[in-house]
Amino acid sequence: MNLRNRTTQGAATIGLLLTTTVLAAPEAIAASKDPSTASVDSVAPKPLGQLGPLTALVIERLLVSDNVAAAKFGTASPIEDPVREAQVLEQVRQQAEAVGVNSQAAVAIFRDQITASKEVQRGLFARWTAHPDEAPTTRPDLSQIRGRLDQLTTALLAELKDTESLRNKPVACSVQLALAEVSGAAQEQLDTLHRQALRTATDSVCRPGGPGDQQSWPLL
């Protein structure tokens, strides 16, 4: 069961923060997208809260999945690639151990990233098959895409290390994650497919020991 749904206290706090975010988000997004108010040095808004930077990377990885889908669509390249997935997870495990991140937690989180990516790919394949006029007209280079994914892996592991203390507190983590997800989805104007995939991609973020870990964690 997802930790975000486990406590009344967490749910109440999340609701308060989400209400504040939803009320503030449209105005903030409108300002950021208004070319008349943008400056040369302006920076795109990021998801809110302590898990904002981590969530921003997760969202970027999801959006890269669009390019993965475009590279595979209409080819013999399958969405499911167990060998490649195993290689990625083993690399994550090794990199996590090298930088001092709980490798079990890191592998669980990146397994969710892979699952979410496949959700996006399947959704886009179905959309493009049903509406050929929406299908991509160019095919991105999959090797370049994988290079970007490797960069995101390094950045995500760094964020996992920086947020370890927070992620060891399930309720506080759940509150911050919900805040980051809602604000990030609004800022990036994610559609239903990508919003659902974002939930999948962050499912294990607040489980510091990985799925099945029953250790007792401090709540706040």
State how far the Cα of 181 lies from the Cα of 70, in Å rounded to an integer: 25
Q: What pLDDT, on a 0 to 100 scale, did the predictor assign at position 45? A: 77
Averaged pLDDT for residues 190-217: 79
Q: Residue 59's closest CA among 158, 171, 155? A: 155
Angle, to 10 degrees, between the axis of helix 170-187 and the axis of helix 52-72? 50
Q: What pLDDT, on a 0 to 100 scale, did the predictor assign at position 208? A: 62
Q: What pLDDT, on a 0 to 100 scale, did the predictor assign at position 18? A: 53
Phi and psi of 20, rounded to 5°? -60, -45
Q: Global pTM?
A: 0.78
Contact of 92 with 49, CB cutoff 8 Å: no
Sorted by sequence, the CB contacts under 8 Å of residue 165 that are 6+ apart come out as none
Instruction: Count other Cβ atoms within 10 Å, centred on residue 104.
Output: 18
- For the cut 60, the answer to whether the pLDDT of residue 25 exceeds it is no
Confidence of residue 200 (pLDDT cuts 50, 70, 90): very high
- For the cut 80, the answer to whether the pLDDT of residue 69 exceeds it is yes
- For the cut 90, the answer to whether the pLDDT of residue 207 exceeds it is no
Let me know if 62 is exposed, middle or buried by CB neighbors in 10 A (0-12, 13-18, 19+).
Answer: buried
Domains assigned to the chain:
49-164+191-201 (1.20.59.10)
Task: Tell me which residue has tokens 């999959």.
Answer: 142
Averaged pLDDT for residues 13-25: 47
Q: What pLDDT, on a 0 to 100 scale, did the predictor assign at position 100? A: 96
Instruction: Count other Cβ atoms within 10 Å, centred on residue 220.
Output: 10
